[in-house]
Amino acid sequence: MEHPAPRLILASQSPTRARLLASAGLRFETKPARIDEDAVKQAAQAEDASAAEAALLLADMKAQRAGAGDGTALVIGADQILVCDERWFSKSQDGAEARAQLLTLRGRPHELVTAVVCHRDGRRVWHHVATPRLLVRHFSETFLDEYIAAEGDALTDSVGGYRLEGAGIQLFDRVEGDYFSVLGLPLFPLLGFLRQHGALAT
C-alpha cells in the first residue's frame, strides 16, 4: 500500500526560492518565518561558529517556526550567508547600503554559504550545505550607479544586492559552483531527498 505524498511547506519569504520550486513542478505552501537573522548571526559569531553552522541554524529556526504544530508536512528551510575575507554580509536595507556593499565586493572573490534543511514533526531529517564561489569584476562607479537605478527595490531582496538571474550577472567575471545554490536553494540535492522521501515521483 502506497503512502500519500507528504505536504510540502516552504519556510521562506523569498520569491526566488518559491519560483524555483514552482518551476520544478512542486506543489507547496509558503509560510514565511520571521527570524531576527542579524541577532542570530551575531550570537553565532560570538561563539566562533562557522558561516555554514550559522546558515544551518537559521534554516533550522525557520523550518521549526513554520512547521510548529504540523506533524505531517515536510518543511523546507533555507538560508544564505555571503562571506568575503571572513566578513559576513547581510541583505542591504536600502540602495545606499547596497552600493557600499557592492563597492566592498568589487574585484574580490566571495562565497555564498547556502544551507537547506527539511524538518518533519519538529526535527531535522535532512540537510545540505553548498558553497559557490563568485568573483566580482572591476566595474566602474558609473556602471554601478546605473545598475542600482535599474534594480531599485530588488537590491534588498538578496544578500549581496544582486540577482544572478537578472542584470546582476553583469557584476561578475566568474561563478564557480551550483547555479541554483547561488540563487538561494541547492535544488538538485533537495529534489533527490524529496524523491527518496516519497514527496516526488521516482
Return the CATH fold of 8-196. Answer: Maf protein (3.90.950)
Evaluate if residue 200 carries a pLDDT over 90.
no
Every domain of the chain and the residues it spans = 8-196
Evaluate if residue 52 carries a pLDDT over 80.
yes
Give the residue numbers annotated as catalytic, written as ranges. Answer: 79
Mean of the pLDDT values across residues 47-61? Answer: 97
Dihedral, CA atoms, 146, 153, 54, 127, nearest 10 degrees?
Answer: -100
Q: Which residues, other chains included, contact 200 with Cβ-Cβ below 8 Å and sequence gap of 6+?
A: 5, 26, 191, 194
Residues 122-161: pLDDT tens digits?
Answer: 899 999 999 999 999 999 999 999 999 999 988 888 898 9
pLDDT at position 71: 80
Cell reading at 148: 542600482
Evaluate if residue 58 carries a pLDDT over 80.
yes
